Amino acid sequence: MTADQLTGLAVLLPLGGFLLNGLLGKRLRSELISGALGSAAVGGAFVVAVMCLVELLGLPPGQRSLTVHFFPWIAAGGFHADAAFQIDQLSVVMMLVVTGVGMLIHVYSIGYMHGDPGFARFFAYLNLFIVAMLILILADNFLLMFLGWEGVGLCSYLLIGFWYDRKFEKGTTGDAAKKAFVVNRIGDFGFLIAMFLIVVTFGSLRFETVFAQASALPVGTPVALWITLALFLGATGKSAQIPLFVWLPDAMAGPTPVSALIHAATMVTAGVYMVARCSILFTLAPAAMAVVAVVGAATALMAATIGLVQNDIKKVLAYSTISQLGYMFLALGVGAFSAGIFHVVTHAFFKALLFLGSGAVIHAMHDEQDIRKMGGLRPALPVTFWTFLIGTIAIAGIPPFAGFFSKDEILWNAFTRGSWVLWLLGVLGAGLTALYMFRLVALTFTGEPRWEKGTHPHEAPLTMTVPLVVLAVLSAVGGFLGLPESLGGSNPFERWLGPVFARADEKLALVAYPGAFTEYFLMACSVAIALTGIYFAYAWYMRHPEVPGSLVKRFGGVYRVLLNKYYVDELYDGAVVTPAVKGSEMLLWKGVDVAVIDGIVNGLARAAGAAGRALRLVQTGVVQNYVLVFLTGAVLLVGWLLAQ
Amino acid sequence: MDVPLSYYLSLSAILFVIGAAGVLTRRNAIVVFMCIELMLNAVNLTLIAFSAYLGSIAGQALVLFVMAVAAAESAVGLAIVIAVYRNRQTVNIDEINIMKW
Amino acid sequence: MTAESLLFFFLAAFAVTTAVLMILERSPLVSAIYLIANFFALAALYLLLRAQLLAVLQIVVYTGAIMVLVIFVIMLLNLGSESRPHGRPEVQTVVAVVLALGFLAEIVYAVAAGPARGAGETSGPPPEALGTVESMGDALFGKFLLPFEVTSVLLLAAMLGAVVLARRRG
């Protein structure tokens, strides 16, 4: 059996894990079995992914696309949609990331969720998520991808609200889960509109069919603009960009492994993957690409500013995720598709690492998440500290760690293919990234302990620290996959993905190479600003801790705006949520439901009662009356018969 | 036959109508019952008249069954009247109206 | 006027008269007597119509059993006469009479217009032995066997019902 046929197994193994843990988990009563089962299922999927990679490597570069057809799904008139997977360079990369990082996080969860009554349920949901994510990535048509898209949204909801009876900020974890689901829904609406337009324009939803037809169209086709804008709306929902990012910080209500897997490494990158997959469509609409790039850059900068002042360790990482996703979209928007995907991969490594590390910290601090109450944890948590530091250096973009190569490539492409304005926004964001991430490290691990005496933080168990170390290694050396030529490499990553974006690249205007000097200069700029950010973090949070306080006093207004996330949530609440809720209450509930529907139902009952009350007067109880009626009827009947 | 069929039928109709009028006007339950018997007999007469004029025995057989049923009905009906009398001390139809709304 | 038709008219008049008297009489016992007389007239009419067995059964079953039962009950309950009707006749009475007369009119019309619909006015005289015991027996044990047997069950049910209903409680 060839590897591509085994991809069905990659989906079936986690599905089996979901069913077993979901149905029997509680009865097994063994954390070891549930955790091992869940992790092994994903591990099996990872093995399949590696086998697919090996198989693709054996094929010549132009033919690395295999289709595995499972069964015809919908056949309605002229419209067909099949359950089939497409295994090509792009999907195999995503598959490796999802299953690889996913497996590490499953192992980590064995330690993190120890003692939780819903242990088996957690692993069931995690496995289900892997199933849905794989379907999303491997689908060979929009409809199946949408199925996976919805599936990951469902799992996100289930996992955010995992501790369903817990309070969270102004509401409950259930509220946070609902918020995520509803905001995603808005994006899904865009995705659906795009699918409708695609069917109408191209007659099919299969990627190959659509993209082949699309590459014959000229740049600037109007329908492509609408399709891509609608698709991008869906992407902003799933990948938390402006305007639909508001759900991601609230999603931190879920357990930390969930934040790591879903809201950092995999689900939120679904939007990026989707745009990259539809690269040819986007290149047909330069206006849409501009929108993508601008939104990406703006989101990157805005989220970085918010993350600067947050005090919850997971909130900082959440805004950091939003910011890094912005970078990915910036790359896609300027046409550097493989750069965007490269950042997906490296970001998966270090963001998962950072989240898992924060989970170790939270675990050690007995569920305390406010960094103002931490400090001085380095001696107590050495492994966590060092791995967290490596992740931070990676995200800050310091060479030779992974983040530098991917982020630098994005900034380079932003400059050459976009405009210097985009580049500047990205660079500023990079500086802020370094600043707030090192602020996080400083406040959490260094300085005097600000926690209560009886806390006794201790290092996490092996099941948690081993994945941290693995991810740290990947964050350190993973970048060399995309080592650019200017630094002596051959950028194997970009060459690997090249054929996938070949059609799109044809449509993009050729850009003149500005010269090696520009390239080195820009590289130096991004490193310099990262170092600047680190310096300020060092100065403000380690050397002179009183400075942030005085800055807050001087720039009080700005500080409040940032702390309150630019009041976006309040804006949405006032403009959309409250009118919708009030309108439903007034109009739909009281108006339609109570008055009309209940009115009709109760009215019918009242009418029946009234008719009954009127009719019962016939029952006089006197037999002769009844006989009289008989006789009257008989007379009339006979009379009628006679008349015939 | 000198007497035409229609004469018998008319006689039967007259008796039937008399019985019906009696059912509707009398107060005493037993008298009402007797008027019903009168109606039944009128129908018997019709059946037998037809049997004679058509030369078929079927009409008379049917009358036999009608008689049997009438006998059964009278037994049960009068038992009911007795039971009602025991409870209500009256057989006046106007006063036996517990099935009134 | 043959003897038969003379007899018919006499018996018819007698039957109608006793019927009318029956429904007008206020004492239930006297009404019962009138009804018995009516039944006798009918029995005679049955004989005219060659229903010999049924004529006898009319006497035996109807007058001899049913009416006797009725008279038993009247005496058992010691019913008195009904009161004189006073004042204007009630609505019910008026309507009843009107309806009854209307019904009668319809039937008579139907019958009078009858000859065109169905049996001939005067077909040949019925065979003498139409309603004898033998021919009735043939019919009952031949064509009408099932109703005959079922009637026995009916009578059983009626017997049981009457016993149960008239029983004194306790």
| ipTM field | 0.90
B32 touches chain A (CB under 8 A): yes
Say whether B24 and C100 touch across the interface (CB within 8 A): yes
Say whether B98 and A631 touch across the interface (CB within 8 A): no
Which backbone phi and psi does B28 adopt, to 5 degrees?
-75, 130
pLDDT tens-digit map of A401-419: 888 888 888 998 888 888 8
pLDDT tens-digit map of A85-111: 888 889 999 999 999 999 999 999 998
Q: Are A295 and A322 in contact (CB under 8 A)?
A: no
Helix (H), strand (E) at residue A71: strand A65-76
pLDDT tens-digit map of C40-55: 999 999 998 888 899 9
pLDDT given at position C57: 94
SS3 A87: strand
Candidates B23, B98, B100; nearest CB to A624: B23
Q: What is the rounded radius of gyration, in angstroms, for the C-alpha atoms of chain C?
A: 21
How buried is residue B98: exposed, middle or buried, by Cβ count under 10 Å (0-12/13-18/19+)? exposed
C126 touches chain B (CB under 8 A): yes
A617 touches chain B (CB under 8 A): yes
- Give A64's pLDDT tier (boundaries 50, 70, 90): confident
Say whether B71 and C65 touch across the interface (CB within 8 A): yes
pLDDT given at position A67: 84
Task: Identify the residue among A613, A618, A622 best suited for mutation to test binding to B, counting B beta carbons within 10 A and taking the highest.
Answer: A622
pLDDT given at position C111: 77
The share of chain A scoring above pLDDT 70, in percent, equals 99
Contacts C100 to A, Cβ<8 Å? 631
A21-35, A199-213, A448-462, B19-33 — which is least confidently predicted? Answer: A448-462
Q: Does the model's pTM come out above 0.80?
A: no
pLDDT tens-digit map of A315-325: 999 999 999 99
Candidates C95, C106, C107; nearest CB to A628: C95
Q: Is the model more confident about C29 or about A76? A: C29
Long-range contacts of A504-511 (CB under 8 A, 24+ apart): A504/A279, A504/A280, A504/A282, A504/A283, A504/A335, A504/A337, A505/A335, A506/A215, A507/A215, A507/A219, A507/A280, A507/A283, A507/A284, A508/A283, A508/A335, A508/A417, A511/A416, A511/A417
C111 touches chain A (CB under 8 A): no
A557 touches chain C (CB under 8 A): no
C95 touches chain A (CB under 8 A): yes
Candidates C103, C107, C109; nearest CB to A631: C103
* Tokens 């949520």, located at residue: A577
Q: How far is A157 from chain B (nearest CA, A)?
A: 60
Say whether A620 and B100 touch across the interface (CB within 8 A): yes
* Residue A366 tokens, joined: 């007995």
Q: Are A390 and A427 in contact (CB under 8 A)?
A: no
Q: What is the mean pLDDT of the segment spanning A232-257?
A: 89
pLDDT given at position A532: 87
SS3 C104: helix
Q: What is the mean pLDDT of the segment spanning C52-71?
A: 93
Contacts C58 to B, Cβ<8 Å? 67
pLDDT tens-digit map of A147-198: 999 999 999 999 998 987 777 777 788 888 888 898 998 899 999 999 999 9
Minimum CA–CA partner of A635 in chain B: B17
Q: Are C110 and B12 in contact (CB under 8 A)?
A: no
Q: Quick check: C31 pLDDT over 90?
A: yes
Say whether A623 and B32 touch across the interface (CB within 8 A): yes
- Give A571's pLDDT tier (boundaries 50, 70, 90): confident
CATH fold label, B28-92: Helix Hairpins (1.10.287)
pLDDT given at position B37: 95
Which backbone phi and psi does A88 adopt, to 5 degrees?
-130, -170
B-C contacts (CB, under 8 Å): 234
Q: Is the model more confident about C129 or about A17? A: A17
Q: How far is C166 from chain B (nearest CA, A)?
A: 5
Q: What is the mean pLDDT of the segment spanning A368-377?
A: 82
Candidates B20, B23, B97; nearest CB to A622: B97
SS3 C27: coil
A627 touches chain B (CB under 8 A): yes
pLDDT given at position C117: 47
pLDDT tens-digit map of B34-43: 999 999 999 9
B93 touches chain A (CB under 8 A): yes
Contacts B27 to C, Cβ<8 Å? 82
pLDDT given at position C10: 93
**In angstroms, rounded to a whole number, what is the distance separating the alpha carbons of residues A110 and A415?**
44
Interface of A with C in 613-642 (CB under 8 A): 624-625, 628, 631-632, 634-635, 638-639, 642
Say whether A642 and C109 touch across the interface (CB within 8 A): yes
A51-60, A275-284, C27-36 — which is least confidently predicted? Answer: A51-60
The torsion region of residue C87 among left (phi > 0), alpha (psi -120 to 50) and beta comes to left
Contacts C96 to A, Cβ<8 Å? 628, 631
- Residues paired with residue A42 on neighbouring β-strands, in sequence order: none
Neighbours of chain C (3+ CB pairs under 8 A): A, B
Say whether A624 and C92 touch across the interface (CB within 8 A): yes
Q: What is the mean pLDDT of the segment spanning A200-212?
A: 88
Candidates B10, B37, B73; nearest CB to C111: B10
Q: What is the mean pLDDT of the segment spanning A446-463?
A: 77
* Domain regions of chain B by residue span: 28-92
Closest residue by Cα to residue A126 from A152, A100, A90, A145: A152
pLDDT given at position C87: 67
Candidates A616, A623, A628; nearest CB to B93: A623
Q: How far is C161 from chain B (nearest CA, A)?
A: 6
pLDDT tens-digit map of C138-156: 888 988 999 999 999 999 9
pLDDT given at position C118: 46
- Give A59's pLDDT tier (boundaries 50, 70, 90): confident
Q: Quick check: B1 pLDDT over 70?
A: no
Candidates A617, A621, A631; nearest CB to B97: A621
Q: Are A398 and A472 in contact (CB under 8 A)?
A: no
Query: Mean pLDDT, chain A, as a whole number?
Result: 86
Q: Quick check: B71 pLDDT over 70?
A: yes
Q: Quick check: A506 pLDDT over 60?
A: yes
Q: Is the model more confident about A530 or about A557? A: A530
Task: Identify the residue among A624, A631, A642 best suited for mutation to test binding to B, counting B beta carbons within 10 A and taking the highest.
Answer: A624
Q: Quick check: A248 pLDDT over 50?
A: yes
**Geometric angle at alpha carbon A614, from A608 and A620, rounded to 5°:** 130
Neighbours of chain A (3+ CB pairs under 8 A): B, C
Say whether B24 and A628 touch across the interface (CB within 8 A): yes
CATH architecture of C1-81: Up-down Bundle (1.20)
Q: What is the mean pLDDT of the segment spanning A243-247?
A: 88
* Residue A439 tokens, joined: 């602020």
A453 touches chain B (CB under 8 A): no
